[in-house]
Amino acid sequence: MKLDILAFGSHPDDVELGCGATIAKEISLGKKVGIVDLTRGELGTRGTAEIRDKEAEKSAKILGVAVRENLEFADGFFVNDKKHQLEIIRMIRKYRPDIVLCNSVDDRHIDHGKGSKLVSDSCFLSGLIKIDTKFDGDDEWQDSWRPKYVYHYIQWKSVVPDFVVDVTGFMDKKMEAIQAYASQFYDPASKEPETPITSKNFLDSLEYRARDLGRLVGVSYAEGFTVERMVAVNTLSNLM
């Protein structure tokens, strides 16, 4: 299956938090989108890996993504090395996305920055024809494939975006997908320990950040992204 967009997250829920509304909008426009989680989030203070597996599946159905996979890297301890790069290269070559979305380049959680660099490096390496990959049990070698664009969504830190996407009309879908992770976010009835992301303020911040980015460009809601290389447009009229 060829995908238009493949979104990577270090943990289940990273993608929804960072660019869930953008994904919902792209799917509504007929684009095929997939999600690959690097870890199962097993070190999270709340819930378990098994609970988060089920929550990720529920969230994927809400967004309507074509596929969701988990590479089961070690939460907190995966590194940017050949072993991990090859696993991501296999995913990129399997789905051949034109666009890859991945974690913020700089963030509070150490896995976010690590995941960002790991995916970015793998996108480049995936285009090298002398790197041979195939899945276990497959007889055929994969063809090389390099995504045209790699964009980084924004997470905990208020990183200044290089561009924003108008997601007006899709915030409700984003919040519904996020709240599928019932073990992770604000729940006044929960008896589990509090974390920086379990407060109502954090949940509210997702909306007011989108509102503020939207305000800056004259729309109701927007999600921001950073780029690694210059973004080009065909004509000036392509800019809002």
Strands 33-39 and 5-9: parallel
Distance CA 101, CA 154 (A): 11
CB 103 within 8 A of CB 155: yes
The yes-or-no verdict on residue 139 having pLDDT over 90 is no
Q: What are the pLDDT digits (tens) for 203-212?
A: 999 999 999 9
Structural domain count, the chain:
1
Q: What are the pLDDT digits (tens) for 101-120?
A: 999 999 999 999 999 999 99
The yes-or-no verdict on residue 137 having pLDDT over 80 is no
Whole-number pLDDT of residue 70: 98
Residue range(s) defining the domain that contains residue 32:
5-238
CATH code for position 214: 3.40.50.10320
The yes-or-no verdict on residue 240 having pLDDT over 80 is no
Q: How confident is the model at residue 238 (pLDDT cuts 50, 70, 90)?
A: confident
Distance CA 73, CA 84 (A): 8
φ, ψ for residue 113, nearest 5 deg: -65, -40
Q: What are the pLDDT digits (tens) for 1-50?
A: 899 999 999 999 999 999 999 999 999 999 999 999 999 999 999 999 99
Whole-number pLDDT of residue 231: 86
pTM attached to this predicted model = 0.96
